[in-house]
Amino acid sequence: MGLSPADLFDLERSLAGRFLERLRYPWEILPRVGEVIAEIARGLGGAWEQRQPGVWVGPGARIEPSALVKGPAIIGAECELRHGAFLRGNVILGDGCVVGNSTEIKNAILFDGVQVPHFNYVGDSVMGTRSHLGAGAILSNVRLDGRTVRVQAAAGPLETGLTKLGAILGDLVEVGCNSVLNPGTVIGRGTLVHPLANVGGVVPPKSVVRRDGSTTARRL
C-alpha cells in the first residue's frame, strides 16, 4: 500500500492539498499546520470572514454559540459546528464538514465532507474526503510510554520523529462507534472499521477491520 498523500487523498478536496502533495508522507505536514493556515489565509477571497484573530470562516458555515474555536483555524464553506464542538487551534476544515457535540479537534486537517459528529477526539491527524467517525470513536495521538510514534508499515516501522501523531484516514473511510485508532495508524481509502475495534498499523484500502482485529478485503 502506498503511503503518499496522493495514494490516500483526492488532494483537490482540501485547501491544504497543494502543501501535502510536496511531501513524502502526510504526517510530515502536522508540525507545520499553523504555517500552512497563515499561507492559505493570505489568499482567501472576499467571501471569507475573519471572525476573530486567526480564525477564517467560509460562506454558509454555521457555528453554534456554544462551540469554542481557538485560532489559528480555517472553517470551510457550509461547515456545521454543533453544540459543544471544540477546535483547539491549528485546524483546517474543508467544505461541508460536521463537527458535533463534545468533539475536540486540534492540529488536524479534515478534507471536504468529513463528519465527526458525536463525542470524538481528533488530534494530530489527517482525515480524507467524506471520512466519518461513529459516536465515541477516538484518534489517539500519544503513546503511553511517551516515545516517538512509529508507523508500522509492511516493509518495517517508519520513524516519524513525532511524539504526537494520531491517525491518517484516506478518503471514504468509515470508523464505527467507540473504536480506538492507536497513534500512527494509517487507513487506506474506502475501508470500514467495525464498532469497538482497536486498530493500529497500516490498513490496506477497501478493507474491513473487525472487532477481533482481523482484516479482510471489502466486498463492494
pLDDT tens column, 42-85: 999 889 999 999 999 999 999 999 999 999 999 999 999 999 99
Is the predicted pLDDT of residue 208 greater than 90, yes or no?
A: yes
Please provide the CATH number assigned to the domain covering 5-217: 2.160.10.10
Q: Taking 90 as the threshold, does the pLDDT of residue 105 lie above it?
A: yes
pLDDT band for position 213 (cuts 50, 70, 90): confident
pLDDT digits (tens, 9 = 90+) for 88-97: 999 999 999 9
Q: What is the mean pLDDT of residues 36-45?
A: 95
Which residues neighbour 29 within 8 Å (Cβ) at sequence distance 6 or greater?
Answer: 16, 19, 20, 23, 36, 109, 126
